[in-house]
């Protein structure tokens, strides 16, 4: 990307030309990629674009409200409350790929309903360069809307940021005046908190994970990590008050990276780690331990599933 303003002008014209008088949809996740793509496309075609935000219940704390606020200026924004349907779809699923598949399928169903309702001919996606590289391999089934074009016969798919890296997307987001909470937001996986829960996703584990992720994001903001996260990885014995409890084990992870393809675990000072530990165990009586993950990628991945 040579110059961010010319990039924006060029993409806005390209999208306007591609979509013409037709209707378009975009899946808005709250993350920087889809938010930036939506802002670009909205600038190009206004309310001919329907941004669809599916609340899967697997989102970060406050994320749904944040999306409503940020995109309140788009009259065509749709927020779909699908929390119960996602929990149902995930019930009993313990295998990581099975979980991803269940989420992807449900997501497509939700999105498809709106796409048909608004008679969308075009699908806009916030795909960026590293996504395409990872999807070409067999590392994991990656995209939430990946199966959609087979279900709906779109006239075209528009991916204005397909050649950009994440830091370039952030530049575009700033040029479009997206708030800092969006432009500087850490990447968050499509399947959401489900990849930060080992085994079955339950309401209880989700609540623990959501709160722990919030604590970690807050406490580690000054380290400016590429991603900082918390995952519920199992159960272990602990003592709370006078009782032995078999509580949740929460792993905390904070990494530096440019594109998510490789990453380095960050060195965090002991006091900060202890503060995280005490907030997570203090705020949730069912958490018995907090661990810090020192593994780079490779050999580990950034997420836990």
Q: Which of 99, 142, 196, 253 binds ligand XMP (CB under 6 A)?
A: 142
Provide, rounded to whole angstroms, the least separation between the CB of residue 224 and ligand XMP. Answer: 15
Q: Draw the binding track, 176-195, toward ligand XMP (x: CB under 6 A; -: no contact).
A: -----------x-xxx---x
Distance CA 288, CA 305 (A): 22
Provide, rounded to whole angstroms, the least separation between the CB of residue 46 and ligand XMP. Answer: 27
Stretch that binds ligand XMP, among 56-64, 74-82, 116-124, 294-302 (CB under 6 A): 294-302
Q: Does 135 bind ligand XMP (CB under 6 A)?
A: no
Q: Compute how many residues bind ligand XMP; rule: CB under 6 A.
A: 14
Q: Draw the binding track, 80-109, toward ligand XMP (x: CB under 6 A; -: no contact).
A: --------------------x---------
Q: Which residues contact 209 (CB under 8 A, 6 or more apart)?
A: 193, 196, 197, 230, 231, 232, 250
252 phi, psi to nearest 5 deg: -110, 140
Name residues contacting ligand XMP, limited to 23-82 (CB under 6 A).
none
- Selection from 172, 184, 173, 159 nearest residue 4 by Cα: 172
First-to-final CA distance of the chain: 33
Residue 61: Cβ within 10 Å count: 17
Helix (H) / strand (E) element for 14: namely helix 4-19
Q: Which of 171, 219, 293, 303 binds ligand XMP (CB under 6 A)?
A: 303
Q: Which of 164, 197, 280, 302 binds ligand XMP (CB under 6 A)?
A: 302
Provide, rounded to whole angstroms, the least separation between the CB of residue 188 and ligand XMP. Answer: 6
Annotate 183-224 with DSSP letters as a single string: HTPPP--TTGGGGGB-S---HHHHHHHHHHHHHHHHHHGGG-
Instruction: Confirm if 51 and 68 have CB atoms less than 8 A apart.
Output: no
Q: Does 140 bind ligand XMP (CB under 6 A)?
A: yes
Cβ-based nearer residue to ligand XMP, 141 or 286: 141
Upper half-sphere CA count for residue 194 (Cβ side, 13 Å): 28
Q: Which of 216, 260, 268, 277 binds ligand XMP (CB under 6 A)?
A: 260
Cβ-based nearer residue to ligand XMP, 18 or 58: 58
Helical pair 96-117 and 83-90, crossing angle rounded to 10 deg: 150
Name residues contacting ligand XMP, limited to 195-254 (CB under 6 A).
195, 227
Q: Which residues contact 82 (CB under 8 A, 6 or more apart)?
A: 54, 55, 56, 57, 106, 110
Cβ-based nearer residue to ligand XMP, 18 or 90: 90
Provide, rounded to whole angstroms, the least separation between the CB of residue 91 and ligand XMP. Answer: 20
The two three-digit tokens of residue 193, written as one number: 């908190």
Per CB under 6 A, residues contacting ligand XMP are: 100, 140, 142, 187, 189-191, 195, 227, 260, 297, 301-303
């Amino acid at each position: 990307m040579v110059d961010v303003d010319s990039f924006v002008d060029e993409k806005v014209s390209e999208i306007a030309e591609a979509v013409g008088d037709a209707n378009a949809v975009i899946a808005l996740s709250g993350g920087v990629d889809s938010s930036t793509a939506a802002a670009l496309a909205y600038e190009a075609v206004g309310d001919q674009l329907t941004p669809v935000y599916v609340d899967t219940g697997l989102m970060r704390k406050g994320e749904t409200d944040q999306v409503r606020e940020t995109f309140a200026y788009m009259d065509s924004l749709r927020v779909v409350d699908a929390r119960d349907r996602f929990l149902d779809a995930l019930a009993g699923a313990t295998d990581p790929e099975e979980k991803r598949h269940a989420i992807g399928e449900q997501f497509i169903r939700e999105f498809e309903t709106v796409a048909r309702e608004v008679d969308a001919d075009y699908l806009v996606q916030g795909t960026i360069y590293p996504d395409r590289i990872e999807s070409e391999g067999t590392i994991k089934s990656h995209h939430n809307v990946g199966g959609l074009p087979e279900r709906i016969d779109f006239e075209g798919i528009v991916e204005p940021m397909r050649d950009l890296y994440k830091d370039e997307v952030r530049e575009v987001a700033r040029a479009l005046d997206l708030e800092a909470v969006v432009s500087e937001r850490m990447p968050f996986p499509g399947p959401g908190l489900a990849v930060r829960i080992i085994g079955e996703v339950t309401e209880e584990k989700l609540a623990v994970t959501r709160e722990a992720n919030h604590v970690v994001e807050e406490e580690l903001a000054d380290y400016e990590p590429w991603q900082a996260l918390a995952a519920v990885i199992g159960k272990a014995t602990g003592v709370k008050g006078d009782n032995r409890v078999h509580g949740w084990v929460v792993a905390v992870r904070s990494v530096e990276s440019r594109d998510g393809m490789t990453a380095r675990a960050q060195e965090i000072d002991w006091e900060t780690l202890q503060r995280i530990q005490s907030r997570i165990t203090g705020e949730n009586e069912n958490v018995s331990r907090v661990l810090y993950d020192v593994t780079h990628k490779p050999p580990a991945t950034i997420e836990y599933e």
